[in-house]
Amino acid sequence: MRILRFISTVAVACLGLMQTAQALTPMPSPMPNKEVITIGYVKVGQVSPLHLVEEDLKKMNIEVKRAEFVRYADARTSLISNSVDVSVVGPADLAIAASQGTKNIIGLSGVASSPKYLVVRKGVTINTWDDLKGKKIAVAPGSAVWFAWAMTLVENNIPYNTFTAVNIQGGGTAFVQALKRGDIDAMLSWEPFESQVVAEGAAYFATNLVDYSKSKAVGQELGLLAASGEAYSKRREVIKRFMWAYLNAEAKLAADSNAFINAYSQFTGLPLDVTRESHKLIKLGGVLDRTQVGRLAEASFKQGVIKTDVTKEAMDLYDDSLAKEIRGR
């Protein structure tokens, strides 16, 4: 299958995808009184460790409630409104929140990284920037992948109107369906939908074009664990224990590909044959830092995603001290 040939092509870059388990500080002691934490999530492979946190949190006298979201934007809104205590959001969501004048969201840690390539319909040729001319490319404006692609175009002096952007609603499944129908020539999507459509033989990764995850402005980060500002300030010990449980699960899955494949499938409901291929492209462990948060905010302003420059304010909303403490750094 094409997906296997693609993975072989990028094998050198992806040899480090399955990290060795990092030694964490010992599990924190149980909370003196039973606590409840509400965890928001989106069903994407890069946060599969969320599937495993419940057992450890139970040992620390914390009950888990869950809230599923389709979009990172909805998760961000729920954090800001204190509807959930912690959730995964998009890497640029701190900048968006800061531009809205709120401080009620705190970034805790990145989650994973991955190479990103344009997914092109079988029979369509896109190997160079010139090949984009006249092509219809599905996008989700405001999404992390769209933002990375847009900034990659800027960094390579490629006008955005070189191609026809097709705004498709309904998530990754709608992208795949549009591609299979021939409504679009290519798509900017995310896992597992990328690997799924390539594995089915309906598309291929445009590896000769560009790895747009390498945008200097956006970076390779796939997501961000965040807490509501209220939970972070008033229930810091609960948030700390959540982070310990997450990082412990992350280390286990990063060290054991079969465990990752199974957790990915159970967490998302995807078949094992899909998660078996998709997981190869995901490197668990965040690559986000405060400086990159600032770059994201600056780029968001320059691209018109937000109306004001909130670089400093966004950076102030990122605090990975708990993650560093748990990792013994």
Domain boundary among the residues 214, 235, 264 is at 214
pLDDT score for 304: 84
Mean local confidence (pLDDT), 141-145? 79
Range of the domain at 247: 22-114+220-326
pLDDT score for 9: 45
Domain boundary among the residues 214, 240, 258 is at 214
Beta-carbon contacts of residue 15 (< 8 Å; ≥ 6 apart): none
| pLDDT tens digits for range 70-97 | 889 999 999 999 999 999 999 899 999 9
Same domain, 92 and 159: no
Q: Using the predicted structure, report yes or no on whether residue 7 has a pLDDT greater than 50.
A: no
pLDDT score for 245: 98
Q: Using the predicted structure, report yes or no on whether residue 21 has a pLDDT greater than 80.
A: no
Q: Using the predicted structure, report yes or no on whether residue 255 has a pLDDT greater than 60.
A: yes
Residue 300 or 137, more confident:
137
Beta-carbon contacts of residue 187 (< 8 Å; ≥ 6 apart): 118, 119, 137, 138, 139, 168, 175, 176, 178, 179, 203
Same domain, 93 and 236: yes
Helices (H), 84-170: 93-99, 144-155
pTM for the full model? 0.86
What's the CATH number where 125 sits? 3.40.190.10
Structure token digits, residue 234: 């008033």
Residue 160, in any domain of the structure: yes
Give 47's Cβ-side CA count (13 Å radius): 23
Beta-carbon contacts of residue 246 (< 8 Å; ≥ 6 apart): 49, 50, 53, 225
Same domain, 210 and 272: no
C-alpha closest to that of 106 among 219, 226, 22 = 226
Amino acid residing at 188: L
Same domain, 201 and 124: yes
**What are the percentages of helix, strand and coil residues in the chain, rounded to 5?**
45, 15, 35
Rounded distance, CA 152 to CA 87, Å?
A: 28
β-bridge partners, 198: none
Residue found by looking up tokens 């990328």 in the block: 194
Give the DSSP per-residue string, 291-308: HHHHHHHHHHHHTTSSSS
